A and B are shown apart, each in its own frame.
Chain A
Amino acid sequence: MFTRRKLLTALTLATAVGLAASGCSAASPQAPSAAPGSVDLRMTVWTSNKDHLALLDSIAKSYKASRPAIKSITFDSLPFADYNSTLTTQIAGGNSPDLVWMGDLSKDLISAKALVPLTDRLKATPEWGYDDLLESVTAEFSADGQLFAYPFSNSPFALYVNKDLLDRAGQKLEPAGLTWDRVSAIGAAVHSATGKAGFVVRDFDYSSWNMLATVWTGWGASAWSADGKTCTFDSPQMTDAMRFLHDAAFVNKSTPGPGTKADFFAGDAAFTIAQVSRASLLDGSFAFDVLPLPKGPAGAYSVIGQAGVGVLASSRHVEEATNFLAYLTNPENARLLAQYFPPPRASLLTGDKLAENNKKLSAAQLQSVVVDQVRGAVTLPNHKNPAEIAKKGKVALDALWTEKADVPAVLGSVCAALDPVLAK
Chain B
Amino acid sequence: MNTSLLAAGEAAHDASPAAGPPPRQRPARTRRGDALVGYLFIAPQLLGVLAFVIVPVALAAYYSVSEWNIFTGQLTFVGGDNYAELFQDPQLPSVLGATAIFLLGVVVLNITLGLLLAVLLNRRFRGSVLFRTLFFSPVVVSVVAWTLVWGFLLQGNGGVNGLLSLVGVDGPNWLQQGGTAMASVIVTQVIRSVGVNMVLFLSALQGVPPELREAARVDGASNRTIFLRITLPLISPTLLLTAIITVVGALQAFAQVAVLTEGGPGLSTTVLVYYVFQQAFEFNDIGYGSTLALMLLTFVLVLTLIQWQLRRKWVFYEA
- State the A residues within 8 Å of B (CB): 84-85, 88-89, 91-92, 94, 108-109, 112-114, 206-207, 257-261, 314, 385, 387-388, 391, 394-396, 398-399, 401-402
Contacts and interface: CB of A to CB of B under 8 A. Distances in A.
Interface string B155-174: 11100000000000000011
Contacts of B70: 88, 91-92
Nearest to B283: A388
Given A385-B283, A391-B282, A260 B71 contact: no
Give the 6 A-B CB pairs with smallest separation, nearest first. A112-B71, A398-B265, A92-B70, A259-B156, A114-B71, A387-B282
B71 A91 contact: yes
Contact of A395 (B173, B176, B264, B286): B264
Contact of A398 (B154, B155, B266, B278): B266
Contact of A114 (B72, B155, B176, B283): B72
Contacts of B210: none
A395 B174 contact: no
13 contacts: A88-B281, A88-B284, A92-B70, A257-B173, A258-B173, A259-B154, A259-B156, A259-B157, A314-B73, A387-B278, A388-B283, A398-B265, A401-B265
Tell which of A113, A257, A258, A396 has the most Cβ of chain B within 10 Å: A258
A236 B40 CA distance: 71
B267 interface: yes
A112 B69 contact: yes
A92 B68 contact: yes
B175 interface: yes
A259 B283 contact: no
Interface residues of B, number: 29
B71 A88 contact: yes
Contacts of A399: 265-266
A206 B262 CA distance: 12
Nearest to A401: B176
Contacts of B69: 112
Given A257-B156, A257-B173, A259-B176, A207 B73 contact: no
Identify the interface centre among B157, B174, B278: most chain A CB within 10 Å of its CB: B157
Given A92-B68, A108-B71, A206-B176, 11 more contacts: A91-B71, A92-B70, A92-B284, A92-B286, A112-B71, A113-B72, A387-B284, A388-B285, A394-B262, A395-B266, A401-B265
B233 to A, nearest CB: 46
A283 to B, nearest CB: 22
A33 B286 CA distance: 39
A85 B283 CA distance: 9
Contact of B155 (A91, A94, A261, A391): A261
A48 B69 CA distance: 29
A301 B236 CA distance: 69
A25 B26 CA distance: 59
B3 to A, nearest CB: 28
Contact of B156 (A258, A314, A402): A258
Interface string B62-95: 0000001111110000000000000000010000
B264 A387 contact: no
B142 to A, nearest CB: 16
Interface in B156-204: 156-157, 173-177
A113 B71 CA distance: 8
Interface string B20-44: 0000000000000000000000000
A89 B228 CA distance: 52
Contacts of A385: 283
Contact of B157 (A260, A394, A398): A260
Interface in B270-296: 278, 281-286
A395 B156 contact: no
A261 B91 CA distance: 29
Contacts of A91: 70-71, 73
Nearest to B156: A259
A256 to B, nearest CB: 8
Contact of A391 (B157, B173, B283, B284): B283
Contact of A394 (B154, B156, B264, B286): B264
